[in-house]
Structure 1
Amino acid sequence: MSSKRAASGAGVAISLFSGAGGLDLGVEDAGYQVRAAVERDEDAATTMEKNFLTLPGPVIRSNILDVPTQDILKAAGLRGKARPDLLVGGPPCTPFSKSGFWLEWKRKGLDPDASLLQAYTRVLREACPKKFILENVYALTYNNLASKTAYERLLSEIDDAGYDCVAKVLHAADYGVPQARPRLFVIGAKKGNPIPQHPEPTHGGRWERRATGDSNRPHVTSGEALDGLICDPEPGEIVNGKYGALLPEIPPGDNYLYYTAERGHPEPKFGWRSRFWSFLLKLDPDRPSPTIQAQPGPNIGPFHWENRRLRVPELRRLFTFPDWFEFVGKRGSVQAQLGNSVPPLLAQRVAESIRDL
């Protein structure tokens, strides 16, 4: 099975920083056709080519800083004054991810990857799409030196390119994704046209001690997402090492804090809040999965409630990729492709709200 669909008339999309195609898959589910994609990671680019039969040619496997906008338009089959209906992309989030803010050079905005935001706005200005979607980590909106400067510059460049935009942090679980994953979506249209609005939540529940979304329809749980899924064991799924033996005692939904004096453990093994929150974190089948990272350490969860690492088909479900979607590469590469992706269902909801203007 493939992602090829009958055209619904939404139009032509071009994709930057495409990764494995989570954002692109959602855009196609909303009726657009992704006609050109730029992705420098070899495994992710091959994953795109394997699953997106609407691409008229190969993925452009180059650093976006070295790719002229005209080459992207040409790859999409857009000639002369023809312009795309939609530009989508999620510039790499490492400069602004909160997990990296312990590094002083990141806090000071010295990460060279921050310039990739300017690569997006350059293509926006030169390709002149009717509308656009830019996705990033919600830490980009933080009030610190690295994020604030980059965010303000981004919005200014969008305005200078001739677009009105709105920005909002969307929680993936509020849109039917069985994963707690907040992401920033900046969406916009050329000035003089109606300004897009973000989609209304379709689900709701508790997230970080507060209620979010639509309370009339509960969040999809990880147990519901994985129900009925049969998949073979994978090499390396058993959690070994110094802390692996601690995992079975931890209740579903809990983490290393289970082994602290503050939680009443008779033989405490960790200090209170001495580790990252996902250390020895275990899935709760009755709640959405916590955020799944691209490059987790050996003791970083979420782990399955059966006390093992999650298998690729399970990760695929928790991101709302269809079961037929095939990832290319070794296990670590697939984890990175998934962890860096936008859940297709969330992307679809955003693209639908833009399409329906």
Structure 2
Amino acid sequence: MSSKRSSTGAGVAISLFSGAGGLDQGIEDAGYDVRAAVEHNADAATTMEKNFLSLPGPVIRSDILDVETSDILKAAGLRGRARPDLLVGGPPCTPFSKSGFWLEWKRKGLDPTASLLQAYTRVLREAQPRKFILENVYALTYNNVASRTAYERLLREIDEAGYDYTAKVLHAADYGVPQARPRLFVIGTQKGNSVPVHPEPSHGGSWERRSTGNVERPHVTSGEALDGLVCDPEPGEVVNGQYGKLLPDIPPGDNYLFYTAERNHPDPQFKWRSRFWSFLLKLDPAKPSPTIQAQPGPNIGPFHWDSRRLRVPEMKRLFTFPDSFEFVGKRASVQAQLGNSVPPLLARRVAEAVRDA
């Protein structure tokens, strides 16, 4: 039995680890209907419910480890042998730290709670969607013990679930997102069908001292993204404390290294490379924004070139969320929801490629 088709023809999607819905916004823009979502965080789940009218009911607000696949399918309105057209999700990246890998059973990837990737592959195996998109941090592909073990297990379980796949790290700025944000996308389809191909970059430019993407069409800059945006000041946007007073003199695109002897500052405040690169980092309106973090420290940028913290409407633009997209929660919660999001425009490009395979 075929699953219910959306009016656009792309099909029905179910979403795991949905967060605020950056990935989901992108796949809906590509024509899919998100019919069920699983998200444990209360603010993020409420954000999903406010913005995704395709959901026939509330977000499933439970730990994915406690949610049966049959309950997800039921929430999506899929009965009997019906199955979704697309499974999407981005399991949290914290399991790929080196912490705890001195234990042999963790080194071998046998910890049932160490990686929520297994929750994704379990639903993939049981729901049997026609296609899937899995997004994650590109550090998952690193050649170290923790990442390699988790990554190899993930790919093995995808194969065992009955899917052919391809994996690639995509740089968001190469797809029109005004933010430097590399992410891993594993995409695939049931064996016997044509394997989707990752989308070709639409934009290009310099990133980490090399050229990427389609250099004939420059990256979208933060200045272009924020041009014409009018938004009210927000509480707490002024950077205070011991180092806040240093921010106004830092040129756009620069960071704390401006205040070092190596840069010939007359009154050096820091030793060379003594802080994280994003410490007192400012946006350069002529370049894409650096990666916006979910939980930045008090002096961690990027800050606006006007020497203040970014406002929520500005961050939405730098992630390519619609201006009308409503986030729920206090400022720290909204920052976390945004920082953990897949830029919707990048998600759309990937979903279109999967849809058309």
User: What TM-score results when the alignment is normalised by the length of structure 1?
Assistant: 0.95
Q: Give how far 1:347 is off.
A: 0.1
Match of 2:296 in 1: 296
Q: Could you list the runs of 4 or more consecutive aligned residues of structure 1 that deviate by over 2 angstroms after TM superposition? A: 103-115
Is contact 1:36-1:59 (8 Å) kept? yes
Matched residue of 1:95: which SS?
helix
* Amino acid paired to 1:105: G
Structure 1 residue 205 corresponds to structure 2 residue 205: yes
Matched residue of 1:114: which SS?
coil
Matched residue of 1:234: which SS?
coil
Question: 1 CA distance for matches of 2:100 and 2:240?
Answer: 34
Match of 2:183 in 1: 183
Is contact 2:36-2:76 (8 Å) kept? yes
Rate the CA distance shift 1:355–1:213 in 2: closer, same or farther, 3 A: same
Q: Give how far 1:335 is off.
A: 0.2
Is contact 1:107-1:145 (8 Å) kept? no
Structure 2 residues without counterparts, runs of 5 or longer: 1-5
Question: 1 CA distance for matches of 2:272 and 2:129?
Answer: 50
Question: 1 CA distance for matches of 2:219 and 2:325?
Answer: 24
* Amino acid paired to 1:88: V
Match of 1:48 in 2: 48
Q: CA RMSD in A?
A: 1.4
Question: 1 CA distance for matches of 2:327 and 2:307?
Answer: 24
Rate the CA distance shift 1:37–1:202 in 2: closer, same or farther, 3 A: same
Match of 2:252 in 1: 252
Is contact 1:94-1:113 (8 Å) kept? no
Question: 2 CA distance for matches of 1:299 and 1:34?
Answer: 37
Question: 2 CA distance for matches of 1:51 and 1:104?
Answer: 36
Question: 1 CA distance for matches of 2:206 and 2:113?
Answer: 34
Q: Give how far 1:115 is off.
A: 2.3
Is contact 2:95-2:115 (8 Å) kept? no
Structure 1 residue 317 corresponds to structure 2 residue 312: no
Question: 2 CA distance for matches of 1:104 and 1:344?
Answer: 31
Rate the CA distance shift 1:66–1:275 in 2: closer, same or farther, 3 A: same
User: What TM-score results when the alignment is normalised by the length of structure 2?
Assistant: 0.95
Match of 2:218 in 1: 218
Question: 2 CA distance for matches of 1:126 and 1:118?
Answer: 12
* Amino acid paired to 1:50: K
* Amino acid paired to 2:81: K
Rate the CA distance shift 1:335–1:10 in 2: closer, same or farther, 3 A: same
Q: Note the alpha carbon deviations across 1:297-337, whole angstroms, 9 max, x for none.
A: 00000000000000000000000000000000000000000
Match of 2:3 in 1: none
Question: 2 CA distance for matches of 1:112 and 1:118?
Answer: 8
Match of 1:105 among 97, 100, 104: 100
Match of 2:243 in 1: 243
Is contact 1:91-1:120 (8 Å) kept? yes
Question: 1 CA distance for matches of 2:28 and 2:317?
Answer: 18
Matched residue of 1:12: which SS?
strand
Structure 1 residues without counterparts, runs of 5 or longer: 1-5
Match of 2:129 in 1: 129
Match of 1:330 in 2: 330
Is contact 1:19-1:340 (8 Å) kept? yes
* Amino acid paired to 2:186: V
Matched residue of 2:314: which SS?
helix
Match of 1:3 in 2: none
Q: Note the alpha carbon deviations across 1:106-158, whole angstroms, 9 max, x for none.
A: 78768986321000000000000000000000000001111010000000000
Question: 2 CA distance for matches of 1:262 and 1:150?
Answer: 41
Match of 2:164 in 1: 164
Match of 1:63 in 2: 63
